[in-house]
Amino acid sequence: MNRTILGIHHITAIAGEPDRNIDFYTRLLGLRLVKITVNFDDPASYHLYYGDGNGSPGTILTFFTWPGARGGRHGNSQVTQTAFAIPKGSGPFWRERLQAGGAQFAGTTERFGEMLVSFADPDGLRLELIESDRADPTCQWSGGGLPADAAICGFHSATISETGYERTARLLTETMGFRLVGSEQNRFRYEIGNAQPARLVDVVCAPGGVEGRVAVGTVHHIAWRTADDAQQLEWRGELSRLGYNLSPVMDRVYFHSIYYREPGGVLFEIATDPPGFTADEPSSQLGAALKLPPWFERSRAQIEASLPRLKILGGGRS
């Protein structure tokens, strides 16, 4: 079998006001705004990408922005926590910073022997910072204004909530290559590869829980990494053989994607590592202008007119 999942590629959530979202993730969390573009399926809304200095797979949290839309509901059939890795010992720094910055601070706890800080962004998206040996300083954004002994180091893991976890567990282990590495009460941890960043996913079995509703403040989908187009096509063939309904290969300019729903209802994506976020602008200029895919350029004026003005773009158009 040549196909391999390399861990989390990106996680995509839904935000409300784009300026507030940019301020929170760049100013308070110290992430780089890697790309300003539009939702390729709905070009009247922004698609914002945050990550490390190069937009490396495994560091990228993205948002579709829906100003004025209703809030979602956290629950089953969703990614309910998105966790970043932080250096060991940096939890107190983050507790103070989040509270001083007005984040929706939920507290600290320990999970699988690691200390974590729980909080939410201004739209209610549930986030965690986990002190971890997996925190890789090469995944930090040095321009984020945070000390190297505290700055975010890409993803640690994601938590999926399900009414029942067994079929999801079989997909993860028997098809995608994950292995069960631990459990705490109704939480089951799966890993792929060897103790590297962004290679963990937790599945929480909550049979009495409510069903989630995807809207502002919730995760839309989680994307898994594969190395290239050839492997992605192998994944598409295998998942189709197993009876999953899959999208065609979608050109997202910075990666290619296929989508399917896992047995518990969470939308999964398998995304390629290349071409990467420098496909349409150099690394030094990432996130500095509104970038559109080639097939939307002829409609740039109309698209720009439909979008809210962003402060980062001078309060007007790019």
Q: 314 pLDDT band (50/70/90 cuts)?
A: confident
- pLDDT-based confidence at 106, cuts 50/70/90? confident
User: Which tokens is 11 given?
Assistant: 């996680």
Composition of the chain by helix, strand, coil, percent to 5: 20, 40, 40
User: What's the full length of the chain, in residues?
Assistant: 318
| pLDDT average, residue stretch 219-237 | 98
List Cβ neighbours of 130 (8 Å cut-off, separation of 6 or more).
Answer: 83, 84, 85, 86, 111, 114, 115, 116, 117, 156, 157
Containing 97, the helix (H) or strand (E) segment is helix 91-100
What integer pLDDT is reported at residue 1 of this predicted model? 56
Residue 196 pLDDT level (bands cut at 50, 70, 90): confident
Contact 132, 83 (CB under 8 A): no
Instruction: Please work out, in degrees rounded to the nearest 5, the angle formed at the alpha carbon of residue 286 by the alpha carbons of 283 and 288.
Output: 140
Cβ atoms of residues 155 and 135 within 8 Å: no
Amino acid identity, residue 117? V
Tens digit of pLDDT for each residue in 130-168? 999 999 999 999 999 999 999 999 999 999 999 999 999
Tell me if the bond preceding 275 is cis, omega within 30° of 0: yes
* Res 105: pLDDT: 85
| Per-residue pLDDT reduced to its tens digit, 20-55 | 999 999 999 999 999 999 999 999 999 999 999 999
Domains of the chain: 8-313 (3.10.180.10)
Residue 5: pLDDT band with limits 50, 70, 90: very high
Phi/psi for 211 (5° steps) reads -80, 135
For all residues of the chain together, what is the average pLDDT?
96
| CA angle in degrees (0–180, nearest 5) for 101-105-110 | 130
Tell me the β-bridge partners of 108.
117
pTM equals: 0.97
Phi, psi of 224, deg, nearest 5? -105, 145
With a pLDDT cut of 70, the percent of the chain lying above it is 98
313 or 271, higher pLDDT: 271
